[in-house]
Amino acid sequence: MVPIDYRYCPVCSTPLIEGMVDGRVRKYCPECRFVRYENPLPVVVAVAVKDGRFLLIKRGIAPKKGFWGTPSGFIESGETPEEACLRELEEEAGVSGEIQRLIRVGRREDTELYGDMLVVSYLVKVVSDEPVAGDEVDEVRYYDASELPGYLAFALRDIVEEGGRAN
Ligand SMILES: [Zn+2]
């Protein structure tokens, strides 16, 4: 799935056509040779831990609205991945954190909205007090490892096994 499907050249407004460019079928402009390269969106995830518990948010917007998950968001221009991670943690969960380490870099496909994503996950130690749900968040709270929803217990199994070593 492609989140934004360009039909016209963003440079000269000519309708784009499909054809082989650099070994792959891509959309391009027959007039000015603009090529619509498709790249994954860069996403950061904060696996935020305090006293061995995981800080999760209940998403208030798509994708996965209504589901509990780790604070996450897009890296903005000019930010390092670490800065974006801590900003998103603060915006969504109202707490400040310290990056402990990189957990992994992976690929995820969001079929609902954003398409292909490059996901950079960090283990973050929460260093401030009570969390506060951000604008796009319905609820925020800490979960014990044993009460994590199944899909998160699976995704976070490495961290759970090591006991959330950010403490
Ligand atoms: Zn063009």
* From 63-72, 98-107, 137-146, 158-167, the region with the lowest mean pLDDT: 158-167
Total number of domains constituting the chain: 2
Both 52 and 96 in one domain: the answer is yes
Both 33 and 45 in one domain: the answer is no
- Give me the catalytic one of 139, 147, 161, 162: 139
Each residue's pLDDT tens digit, 116-133: 999 999 999 999 989 999
Which pair of tokens denotes residue 105?
């870099």
91 in a structural domain: yes
Which pair of tokens denotes residue 77?
């221009």
User: Which domain, by its residues, includes 73?
Assistant: 41-161
- pTM for the whole thing? 0.87
- Interval between CA 145 and ligand 1 midpoint (Å): 53
Both 47 and 31 in one domain: the answer is no
Both 4 and 51 in one domain: the answer is no
Each residue's pLDDT tens digit, 11-36: 999 999 999 999 999 999 999 999 99
Mapped onto helix, strand or coil, the DSSP state of residue 145 is helix
Task: Please name the residue ranges forming H helices in the chain.
Answer: 81-93, 150-155, 157-161
**Single-letter residue type at 136:** E
135 in a structural domain: yes
- Interval between CA 34 and ligand 1 midpoint (Å): 5
Both 78 and 53 in one domain: the answer is yes
**Single-letter residue type at 135:** D
Catalytic annotation present for 88: no
